[in-house]
Chains A and B, each alone.
Chain A
């Protein structure tokens, strides 16, 4: 069943409204699906003096009911699938899922009996942040993109030297 033009317009307006709200005050919950522990260390540094995510209106919360954004690391170990789904479903909508790090994006572990290999095999991902690990600056960039405050650079990057960028 496809949304009609009125519904699409409403959805777009709602999305903009949500982004505006999240852009002013966003509560983040973290979820480790099997990382090597380094992504978590970079995430912890977001609240450290050098980065201080609070000045941007971002906050960490351990309470899923309070959270707006789920920051997910790791290659989604299969034995963790149920816990991951429960963590996601415990968050009320509207919510955003951000897959962070090469493991979560499929770069380190291929799908096999132990791991799914990517977070989006189990959860609906809205934003992907590459890096191994993504530095706190890259994480801040990703959070800014997630709430619509920062424009994405990736579509414009060619990774060709001497091309449009770098």
Chain B
């Protein structure tokens, strides 16, 4: 047991200060996408919808509908439309309102 005690002391504290302070390891986490309305054409929207493995992306009334709750951050939409997509870097997504996770992004040149 002294073996463990000494090793433990020598190892020091690794505990994060989160949420009081930000944690640097968060920058390496996969996060949901943000979309650029200025680049988001109907064609790119449809391409992203077809490569999304889940129900996170759909289209209605001239908007791309993004369900951040259904998103697995797989990155396929970013690969399919790199100009229109950028990572948010957001991992603090917890909410008491499920509907708040569903966002509308206007599609370029579409009637709404």
Contact = CB atoms under 8 A, between A and B. Distances in A.
Interface string B71-106: 111100000000001101111111111101101010
- Please indicate which of the listed interface residues B18, B33, B70, B93 has the most CB atoms of chain A within 10 Å of its own CB: B93
Mostly, the B contact residues are: loop
Chain A contact-residue range equals 35 or more
Nearest to A50: B14
Contacts of A159: 32-35, 66, 68, 88, 103, 105
A63 B97 CA distance: 28
Chain B contact-residue range equals 35 or more
Interface in A41-64: 49-52, 55
Contacts of A89: none
Interface of A: 49-52, 55, 102, 105-108, 110, 120, 125-132, 134-135, 137-138, 140-142, 144-146, 149-150, 152-155, 157-163, 165-166
28 contacts: A50-B15, A102-B69, A107-B55, A107-B70, A107-B71, A127-B94, A128-B96, A129-B94, A130-B68, A130-B69, A130-B71, A135-B29, A137-B16, A137-B18, A137-B26, A138-B91, A138-B92, A138-B94, A141-B91, A141-B94, A145-B94, A145-B96, A150-B92, A152-B97, A154-B94, A159-B33, A159-B68, A161-B34
